[in-house]
Amino acid sequence: MTDNVPMRSNNRVAIRGALIVLGLVAGISQTGRGQSNPTDSSWSTSSQPIDQTGTANPTRTRTTHSEADGRVIEKTVVEAKGPDGRYVPYSEIERESVRVNGTTVRNVERSYGRTADGQRTLTQETKEESRSFPDGERKMTRTISNPDGNGALQVVQRALIDSKQVSPGVRDTRTTVFSADGSGGLAPTVQIVERESQTDAKAVEFSRSTSLSDGAGHWTLSEVREGTTTPETGGGSTKEERVLRPDANGKMAVAERTVSKSAGGPAEESETTETYSTNVPGQAGDEGLRLVRRESTVQRTGAGGGHSTAQRVEQANPGDPGADLHVTQEAIDIVRPGANGTATQTSTILTSDSNRHLKAVWIDMGKTDNAAAAKSDAVAAKRPK
């Protein structure tokens, strides 16, 4: 079997799962997928991408989902075309989420690959347990394990996340990440301290500091993110964020700034994010903050229940850093409801060529018998940068 199966061949559910496995820590907000909905439900989604460049091995993906009595089971299977032209299993992700009681949720996610002879083999396991307390405190433990040479699971990373309501309108979250130390144990490698404060009835201030261990018991501040989110008159909001990183002298200095504005109503929502950075393509990096990227997203809902999401990315040109931003990518998702609660989804990715003409390079066509899930995936789709 060829190995050039693109990650984008996975449907949106698979992508979200992979990000949870591979991401460092996404914060206490990911406290589990278990729900207390007593209604049983099941659905399936399938998709098959078309690589317009013809360089990727064809794949197809199917996800099945069922939930009952507080237990959610989901399985995503990616198949790739083999040498004989038939589709054979390539990778799988299995997820199980159980609501133990009113305060505790346990999640297990297992990723599988295939050996050279086609046998299924476990490649990673992630376990999470999240608990909530009457005083507003929330705790989560996330453990990631990989198989060793003998196939036995070994813990390679553990994250402890503790979020507390320290005062009215103020929440602090502390995350400590432990990684394998090479001698069979785990050692702290990353610390993240976050604070979110409701400054008044409208604005929210936030900060996030990340420190890295030097392995000898000392911590070095590597990044600080801070900013505010303010609602706008008539709807929407503005979010401004500064990113500070060590400069050439080791002092914290502003390296990046982002401004995000959202607006919209029942039928259309839009968001634009502009990124200013000292790391300007084609420049030495001492020119101060310059606009290097603009990302705009428009979501529309039709009268018949259809939904579309269009995302445009503009970036600086390394060959002409003084020029205006130019469009480098567009991504379009269209969801159309069908009969009996079904829906179809078409996702198209276009990138610019050397002449700055946009051409479709990826088309993903899928269907589901859960229209609500398809709509949610279209809105939350993550695009390659």
Distance CA 335, CA 49 (A): 15
- pLDDT range class, residue 8, cuts 50, 70, 90: very low
Answer yes or no: is 204 within a domain.
Answer: no
**Residue with the larger pLDDT of the pair 272 and 323:** 272
Q: Which domain holds residue 364?
A: 299-385
Answer yes or no: is 118 within a domain.
Answer: no
Residue keyed to tokens 């000392």: 218
Average pLDDT, the chain: 85
Q: What is the pLDDT averaged over residues 363-377?
A: 71
Distance CA 8, CA 5 (A): 9
Instruction: State the total domains in the chain.
Output: 1
Answer yes or no: is 16 within a domain.
Answer: no
The confidence score (pLDDT) of residue 318 equals 82
Give phi and psi for 348, each to the nearest 5: -125, 130
Q: 296 has which bridge partners?
A: 272, 312
Answer yes or no: is 306 within a domain.
Answer: yes
- pLDDT range class, residue 341, cuts 50, 70, 90: confident
The confidence score (pLDDT) of residue 70 equals 84
Answer yes or no: is 237 within a domain.
Answer: no
The confidence score (pLDDT) of residue 325 equals 93
Q: What is the pLDDT averaged over residues 348-377?
A: 80
Q: What is the pLDDT of residues 39-64, one digit of tens each?
A: 568 999 999 988 888 888 899 999 99
- pLDDT range class, residue 15, cuts 50, 70, 90: very low
Q: What CATH number is attached to the domain comprising 385?
A: 3.10.450
Distances (CA, A) of 7 to 15, 55, 80, 117, 169: 8, 13, 12, 22, 40
| Nearest residue to 141 via CA among 130, 154, 133, 132 | 130
Answer yes or no: is 246 within a domain.
Answer: no
Answer yes or no: is 379 within a domain.
Answer: yes
- Model pTM? 0.80
Answer yes or no: is 371 within a domain.
Answer: yes
Contact between 61 and 39 (Cβ < 8 Å): no
Q: What is the pLDDT of residues 131-150, one digit of tens each?
A: 999 999 999 999 999 999 88
Q: What is the pLDDT of residues 226-250, one digit of tens each?
A: 999 999 888 899 999 999 999 989 9
Distance CA 141, CA 132 (A): 12
- pLDDT range class, residue 373, cuts 50, 70, 90: low
